[in-house]
Amino acid sequence: MTQSTDAPARFRVPFVDPRKAYRDYKDEIDAAIADCLENGDLIHRRQLFDFERDLAAYTGARYAVGLASGYHALFFALLAAKVGPGDEVVTVAHTFAASISAIVHTGATPVLVDVADDFNMNVDAFEAALTEKTKAVIPVHLNGRSCDMERIMKIADARGIAVIEDACQALGATFRGKMCGSFATGCFSFYPFKALGCYGDGGALITDDEAVAKMAVRLRYNGEDRQTGEFHYHGYSALLDNLHASVLGAKLRHFPAWVEHRRALADRYRAGLVGVPGLGLPHFEGAEYRDSYQNYAIRSDRRDDLRAHLSKSGIETIVSWAKPVWEHKALGLGSPDLPETLRICRAVLSLPMSSETTPEQVDLVIDAIRSFPR
């Protein structure tokens, strides 16, 4: 999602409101930033390590490694799984391009499969896509909802395939009480408009495997082991900056409450929108799932008209994504036959949903949708 810069001023209900998000926690955020600046802690310092400790504790993983972006987390997780040229990696087409680019940049071939009606990997399609060359699978927990990690882990374990969870949209979501990202190697994004966002690019990898964590720690610092000074790889400049880590650390303390806030807003949307003709709501079956609602993504049989109607009513919405990723021909992804992905591209519409969105704003959205002429 890219920012529409004047959105909070133009819309009665902006999709997100970074100014309000800052003002609501200004004292804590300012103090976190001042702590870095006054101590000269800019790169690879205490605030980064504190955040990593707290993120590991929150997700239940043994290690968390702060990185420059969610993309880097995916890429390093693939490198740690020794994915490279000649290998295949299965993932979904209905995801942000970075999930797929991370595969391409290892030299491996992405194998794109369809999603189910909850926007997440169709596990039968994953199973059908396995070949002798399959080295890894990237389930993407889209919109703050877990994939079926029990089935995916079972299939992957039986075949000796690495699992790399794209949890960039799913911090705080759980499956059978276990955090998304903590089933295997988990990847998070702290892009500003993620549920936990910093003020630029940021990400993290979580793992229980010490060797994976160590490799990511070295890769992010150009391959260097900071303790010994030895360079182990041709690495990357891909650290999570200290300033971002300090802000994330301050925000993480509030994050569990923000997840509850999002879940309450989702319930409010459901109560207000259930039964509206032509709409599909993102409340899916399964007591084992606890969604964190990074996005409240509905389906509409007249998506573009509804979106225009909402915009006229002062409500900002986002479409992720109108064009299937393989239709971006420069990416060289062929022409897979993925009917559910296509259906979603035609119908999906994300409504305002953030920690700063208020129940009153949700009511305005509900009223506007209900007033959409059929």
Q: Which of 13, 81, 168, 353 binds ligand PLP (CB under 6 A)?
A: 168
Q: How many residues bind ligand PLP (CB under 6 A)?
A: 15
**189 near ligand PLP (CB under 6 A):** yes
Give the whole-angstrom CA distance, residue 217 versus residue 247.
20
The string of DSSP letters for 208-260 reads: S-HHHHHHHHHHTBTTB-TTT--B-S---B-BPPHHHHHHHHHHHTTHHHHHH
Cβ proximity to ligand PLP, 17 vs 165, nearer residue = 165
> What is the contact mask toward ligand PLP in residues 91 to 120, using x (rule: CB under 6 A)?
----xx-xx---------------------
**296 near ligand PLP (CB under 6 A):** no
Which residues make Cβ contacts (< 8 Å) with residue 259, sequence separation at least 6? 172, 195, 292, 293
Give the whole-angstrom CA distance, residue 116 versus residue 231.
44
Q: Least Å distance between CB 162 and ligand PLP?
A: 17
Query: Across the chain, where does the E strand assignment appear?
Result: 63-67, 88-92, 109-113, 134-138, 162-166, 174-175, 178-179, 185-189, 203-207, 279-280, 289-290, 296-300, 348-351
Of residues 37 through 76, those in contact with ligand PLP by CB under 6 A are 69-71
With CB atoms as reference, the residue minimizing the distance to ligand PLP is: 70
Crossing angle of the two packed helices 242-252 and 26-39, in degrees rounded to 10:
150
Stretch touching ligand PLP by CB under 6 A, among 4-12, 41-49, 161-169, 351-359 = 161-169
Q: Least Å distance between CB 188 and ligand PLP?
A: 8
Peptide bond into 321 cis (omega under 30): yes
Give the whole-angstrom CA distance, residue 277 versus residue 35.
53
The residues that bridge with 138 in the sheet, in sequence order, are 91
Q: Least Å distance between CB 95 and ligand PLP?
A: 5
Give the whole-angstrom CA distance, residue 190 versus residue 169.
9
User: Which tokens in the block code for residue 343?
Assistant: 């259906």
Cβ proximity to ligand PLP, 93 vs 273, nearer residue = 93
Of residues 9 through 28, those in contact with ligand PLP by CB under 6 A are none
Cβ proximity to ligand PLP, 96 vs 293, nearer residue = 96
**174 near ligand PLP (CB under 6 A):** no
Q: Least Å distance between CB 111 and ligand PLP?
A: 17
> What is the contact mask toward ligand PLP in residues 201 to 230, using x (rule: CB under 6 A)?
x-x---------------------------
Q: Which of 15, 58, 175, 191 binds ligand PLP (CB under 6 A)?
A: 191
Cβ proximity to ligand PLP, 87 vs 166, nearer residue = 166
Give the number of other CB atoms < 10 A from CB of residue 25: 17
Per CB under 6 A, residues contacting ligand PLP are 69-71, 95-96, 98-99, 140, 166, 168-169, 189, 191, 201, 203
